[in-house]
Amino acid sequence: MSLLERSMGIQTELYANFTEHEQVVFCNDRQTGLKAIIAIHDTTLGPALGGCRMRPYSSIEEAVNDVLRLSKGMTYKCAAADVDFGGGKAVIIGDPAKDKSPEMFRAFGRFVDSLNGRFYTGTDMGTTMNDFIYASKETNCIVGVPEAYGGSGDSSIPTAQGVIYGLKATNNVLFGDETLTNRTYAIQGLGKVGYKVAERLAMEGAEIYVTDIDETVLQKIKERGNELGTKVNVVTNKEIYRVKADIYIPCAFGGVINDETIEQFEIKAIVGSANNQLSYEKMAERLQEKGILYAPDYIVNSGGLIQVADELYGPNKERIIAKTKSIYTSLLEVFEKSVSEQMTTVEAANRLCKKRLEDRARLNRFFLQSRRPKWDIRR
Ligand code: NAD
């Protein structure tokens, strides 16, 4: 493919991704070296909310594509979780290991502030809560900072809890009984979310198969299994796709449901926290053809989002737990719609989210005094 054809391909993809976004902002601060892009996809439900990812993108196009795709995903995730936020995301172009500085995140905070409350952000891949302590000195539109700084703390706790609710809803549909015990689970990735899920399943006495590239977490879960009297089976990174289990739980990285892995699966369902698990959306049809029940990732992993969105009201643990529980009912609704209207679970989830957006958009039809334009001198 020639350079021209390649660049035309990228441009077509960019335009295709840009057809629905409200606003995209390029941020450049020469002093700190900050190069960031903020994308606001849809603010029907409220100000845009989405994490800020830092990666050494190989080109501006790659960064733009990523931020456009991720911010759109956030619109659906917020709608599915029924929180009063819209879809947004930010990316910083740079190597998180080398290019970060407190000043860079302060500069980023100033750009976020310039959006005047249209965009709220916090950590994502490559950024930490510590980075956002600096950003929060420049703007109030930061979420997910440590509790000592007024935030709600570790979001992997509600995320893992949400996965557990997802597993219960799925067991209910598969076996007519939501209990976690007496089932087998294959867990990929024992990080902040995956470890908590594995530990909970081990506590329930379920049989678990686990994999990770980090030997220390594998050792840790094995010891925990021994303490609890539950067998923990460690398998390799390749074997995890072939494990004969009831449910596969991807908690490491995206794209794990692809042309190669789908041929190997010997599972009944997939329920995990990893973002963008399907390598492409049509993969949902292939899972359905294979008789594998797929719990859409953006519903299963919305516990963390529920927690940061809750900061809008001042964090409250009981409220977060109660709201995270709704992942159970949301999934059941998606599974039922998928059966009754004969569509994939992904299509069913997307349609429910679109309906929620349309219903809310209708609310905006009547005039509110507080929305009167500032230039209106008769105020
Ligand atoms: P993490 O970085 O703490 O954990 C990821 C784990 O996967 C690590 O233990 C890592 O060693 C392991 N891993 C990496 N490559 C692997 C491989 N090839 N095979 C097996 N294991 C591998 O991340 P996390 O916070 O636990 O998140 C897990 C997933 O869930 C990510 O995809 C994340 O985007 C998604 N997610 C997390 C949250 C949250 O609140 N933390 C919220 C929504 C979605």
Q: What is the pLDDT along the chain (379 residues), one digit of tens a residue?
A: 555 555 555 566 666 677 889 999 999 999 999 999 999 999 999 999 999 999 999 999 999 999 999 999 999 999 999 999 999 999 999 999 999 999 999 999 999 999 999 999 999 989 999 999 999 999 999 998 988 988 888 889 999 999 999 999 999 999 999 999 999 999 999 999 999 999 999 999 999 999 999 999 999 999 999 999 998 999 999 999 999 999 999 999 999 999 999 999 999 999 999 998 999 989 999 999 999 999 999 999 999 999 999 988 887 888 999 999 999 999 999 999 999 999 999 999 999 999 999 999 998 788 777 766 666 655 4
Rounded to whole angstroms, what are the CA distances from 318 to 81, 166, 169, 326? Answer: 16, 19, 21, 13
Active site residues: 89
Ligand 1 atom with minimal separation from the 274 CA: 32
- Looking at the DSSP bridge assignments, the partners of residue 88 are 40
Smallest CA separation from ligand 1 atom 40, residue:
156
Chain-centroid distance, C-alpha 318: 22
**Gap from CA of 357 to ligand 1 centroid (Å):** 30
Q: What is the pLDDT of residue 185?
A: 98
With a 6 A CB cut-off, is 189 part of the ligand 1 pocket? yes
CA-CA distance, 295 to 174, in Å (whole number)?
12
At 362 the three-state DSSP class reads helix
Contact residues for 354 (Cβ-Cβ < 8 A; gap 6+): 79
Q: What is the pLDDT of residue 13?
A: 62
With a 6 A CB cut-off, is 253 part of the ligand 1 pocket? yes
The tokens describing 53, both together, are 């990812």
Ligand 1 atom with minimal separation from the 250 CA: 29
Ligand 1 atom with minimal separation from the 214 CA: 11
**Gap from CA of 248 to ligand 1 centroid (Å):** 15
Ligand 1 atom with minimal separation from the 304 CA: 40
**Gap from CA of 238 to ligand 1 centroid (Å):** 17
Residues 257, 262, 264, 267: what is their CA dihedral angle, to the nearest 10 degrees? 80
Contact residues for 341 (Cβ-Cβ < 8 A; gap 6+): 348
Q: What is the pLDDT of residue 351?
A: 97
Question: Comparing C-alpha atoms, which of 102, 130, 233, 250 is closest to residue 189?
Answer: 250
pTM: 0.89
CB atoms within 10 A of CB 17: 19
Report residue 92: phi and psi, to 5°. Answer: -110, 130
55, 37 Cβ separation under 8 angstroms? no
With a 6 A CB cut-off, is 301 part of the ligand 1 pocket? yes
Q: What is the pLDDT of residue 379?
A: 47
Question: Comparing C-alpha atoms, which of 44, 87, 96 is closest to residue 68?
Answer: 87
At 279 the three-state DSSP class reads coil
With a 6 A CB cut-off, is 252 part of the ligand 1 pocket? yes
